[in-house]
């Protein structure tokens, strides 16, 4: 019941802020419930706990619903756009989430964190080319840490040092996949 209240609070603040700034596109606004359901399904699949980094958090999809569904995780939401990270801070506060908003580019945000912070999970939804940014977070992964990419295509170009451990089709259409990477052993 508490999670449902938080989801509704997130939904309301997202729609309110989206009237003023571009947090999510028209398709996401029209299908917001489906996007939230997809994020909750990803949380079910991934079972986040410990430190979780979401890179390119934007309007909080999928990170905010995942954080709501994952009370044993601390989400670090990384977003460079000032208006978007202002929104994220507000959403985290209003939904009473165990989350930290990092308002900077990925490499600079990681430099500001305590070097002891190790991520058990890194998520990103269609941000840039994973082959370019995954190596930046590789040294901050915990032993057994995973990277979960929300992608339109289940086939990724090879990323040195990583293998695709699993691919899950997500419920929001035929071009929505969760691709899970693990370090190559």
Angstrom distance (rounded) from CA 117 to CA 140: 7
* Exposure class string for 43-82: b at 16+ Cβ within 10 A, else e: beebebeebbbbbbbbbbbbbbbbbbbbeebbbbbbbbbe
Q: What is the pLDDT of residues 101-142, one digit of tens each?
A: 999 999 999 999 999 999 999 999 978 889 999 999 999 999
The alpha carbon of residue 156 and the mean position of all alpha carbons in its chain are separated, in whole angstroms, by 18
Mean pLDDT of 67-76: 97
* Residue 72's CATH number: 3.40.50.150
Q: What is the pLDDT of residue 25?
A: 87
- 35 upstream amide cis, omega within 30 of 0: no
Count how many domains the chain has: 1
Write out pLDDT tens, residues 137-174: 999 999 999 999 999 989 999 999 999 999 999 988 77
Q: What is the pLDDT of residue 106?
A: 94
- State the pLDDT confidence band at 175, using cuts at 50, 70 and 90: confident
Q: What are the phi and psi torsion angles at 123 (to 5°)?
A: -120, 155
Please give the mean pLDDT across all residues of the chain: 94
pLDDT tops 80 at residue 21:
yes
pTM score of the predicted model: 0.95
**61-68 average pLDDT score:** 97
From the centroid of its chain, how far is CA 67?
9
pLDDT at res. 159: 94
Lowest mean pLDDT among 77-86, 106-115, 172-181: 172-181
Domain range enclosing 127: 2-183
């Amino acid at each position: 019941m508490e999670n449902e209240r938080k989801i509704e609070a997130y939904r309301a603040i997202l729609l309110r802020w989206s009237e003023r700034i571009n947090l999510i596109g028209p398709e996401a606004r029209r299908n917001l419930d489906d996007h939230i359901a997809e994020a909750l399904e990803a949380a079910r699949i991934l079972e986040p706990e410990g430190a979780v980094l979401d890179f390119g958090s934007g309007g909080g999809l999928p990170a905010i619903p995942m954080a709501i569904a994952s009370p044993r995780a601390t989400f670090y939401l990384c977003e460079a756009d000032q208006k978007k990270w202002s929104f994220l801070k507000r959403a985290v506060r209003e939904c009473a989430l165990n989350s930290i908003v990092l308002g900077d580019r990925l490499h600079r945000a990681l430099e500001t964190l305590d070097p002891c912070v190790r991520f058990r999970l890194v998520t990103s939804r269609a941000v840039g080319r994973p082959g370019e940014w995954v190596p930046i977070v590789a040294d901050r992964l915990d032993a057994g840490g995973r990277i979960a990419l929300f992608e339109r295509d289940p086939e990724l170009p090879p990323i040195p040092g990583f293998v695709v451990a699993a691919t899950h089709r997500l419920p929001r259409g035929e071009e929505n996949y969760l691709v899970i990477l693990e370090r190559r052993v």
